[in-house]
Structure 1
């Protein structure tokens, strides 16, 4: 091969590699997972005050240390903690298994339900490369972050409501032979719902439905000072839902 052509090809390959590395670093930083502190957002409608902790579900140990300190401090100031945790009230294992399979049919895997940092494939949120030098971890359990779970309120919808409400709007999720034959913990290679349906599920249910539910709980609560521990993606939607209930809600600096 001509030396000049070979040199040019190598140059462009190096340039592409540097671009990939740089772009991935930007994605990591912009996602917030490299933060070492969390900023509390405060809302008020004159009668109530909400301290919103926009938590990242993947982060550094220092970040979760800061989260723990802020949770502890606000609880000592008598804030009642409302936290996110999609759980189930079902006890029948077959019913739970069916819900898991329907959820998997929508999103393509169970990663978002069981964790966000894939240590096997070294991925964050399924598609961002994880640089191990950052020592990132999945969000610790709430009791590991100083949350008083005996007094705190699970301010989230149930897993069955999430799936049932989606089906009420879009029709029953039909599972095929592949869905039933593929073990719930195995790699999923079956046909998922359309991209449009997946986006609808995230926008109107994973975010929208839960934001509405949280806003109603805050509005109906007798507590005047509330600490909300929820994913950062929920903040703008929550503010919008609160203002629909009471236009007096606003940011407090």
Structure 2
């Protein structure tokens, strides 16, 4: 299940501790260098290949944050590398914060509201049904249940996502196409597309940063690569003592 040592692009990385803390040891390469205020979305980018798997390590002097950028469709070896990293870090007692909007548990009304925003429901089922080229869909079960800290879904519900858009822009229009098309299929969105990322990216970044800020111990975060730089900068705004670990 886990990454084999023959994968040449993955090496053992040791993060030197300080103030009496124990070293944090993982198997994944550290992401590109850069102070928090200089980090960009491009630096967190992963293409789904095994060689693109990265971790970004931060500390505020008393806690560590390991942010692993994720992608919804990737090579199996990419997810094996992530699972191996999570297993080793969880063994040190760290909590795992992960991304997951549970569309299966949503009401039909909320599913239609999200589909009015995006045109589709970005669920694990959707990604699994639309993979190609030797890729597989992300399956969070592969990363959960390792001994150590808690596994915590720190994402929003579909209702919270749609509510956030409506507070920002106004009521979502549910088109006739949305009402009559099977819920798993694409429809033309009716939302203001220029405002979507303010909810799906920016607001979720704020939500995640607050969860990390409120945590009491070290945290591993598995979240989409597009959230990396924004979340860390939101966290830095809450607590300027956070910095990259060399």
What TM-score comes out, normalization by structure 2 length? 0.73
In 1: Cα distance, 2:185 partner to 2:205 partner: 31
Given the superposition, is the C-alpha separation of residues 152 and 146 from structure 1 closer, same or farther in structure 2, using an over 3 Å criterion? closer
Task: Report the counterpart of residue 137 of structure 1 in structure 2.
Answer: 136
Secondary structure at 1:54 match in 2: strand
Larger helix share, 1 or 2: 1
* Deviation digits for residues 62-101 of structure 1 (CA, Å, limit 9, x no counterpart): 111111111100000111111111137x97x7xx111111
Task: Report the counterpart of residue 46 of structure 1 in structure 2.
Answer: 61
CA-CA distance at 1:53 after TM superposition: 1.1
Contact 1:71 1:147 in 2 (8 A): no
In 1: Cα distance, 2:158 partner to 2:223 partner: 16
* Deviation digits for residues 23-58 of structure 1 (CA, Å, limit 9, x no counterpart): xxxxxxx85122346211101111221011112221
CA-CA distance at 1:245 after TM superposition: 0.5
* Deviation digits for residues 99-127 of structure 1 (CA, Å, limit 9, x no counterpart): 111111121122466433553xx6xxxxx
Contact 1:59 1:136 in 2 (8 A): yes
In 2: Cα distance, 1:31 partner to 1:213 partner: 22
Task: Report the counterpart of residue 193 of structure 2 in structure 1.
Answer: 198
In 2: Cα distance, 1:31 partner to 1:229 partner: 13
Task: Report the counterpart of residue 212 of structure 2 in structure 1.
Answer: 218
Secondary structure at 2:232 match in 1: helix
Task: Report the counterpart of residue 72 of structure 2 in structure 1.
Answer: 57
Secondary structure at 1:116 match in 2: helix
In 1: Cα distance, 2:146 partner to 2:117 partner: 34
Which of 112, 118, 121 is 1:107 aligned to? 118
Q: Greater relative contact order (Cα 8 A, min sep 6): structure 1 or 2?
A: 1
In 2: Cα distance, 1:246 partner to 1:101 partner: 38
Task: Report the counterpart of residue 164 of structure 2 in structure 1.
Answer: 165
Given the superposition, is the C-alpha separation of residues 171 and 110 from structure 1 closer, same or farther in structure 2, using an over 3 Å criterion? same
Secondary structure at 1:173 match in 2: coil
Structure 1 or 2, whichever has the larger Rg, is 1
Task: Report the counterpart of residue 178 of structure 1 in structure 2.
Answer: 177
Secondary structure at 1:82 match in 2: strand
Task: Report the counterpart of residue 240 of structure 1 in structure 2.
Answer: 233
In 2: Cα distance, 1:186 partner to 1:49 partner: 41
RMSD: 2.5
Contact 1:36 1:60 in 2 (8 A): no
Uncovered stretches (5+) of structure 2, i.e. residues with no partner: 1-44
CA-CA distance at 1:199 after TM superposition: 3.6
Contact 2:111 2:158 in 1 (8 A): no
CA-CA distance at 1:152 after TM superposition: 0.9
Uncovered stretches (5+) of structure 1, i.e. residues with no partner: 1-29, 123-129
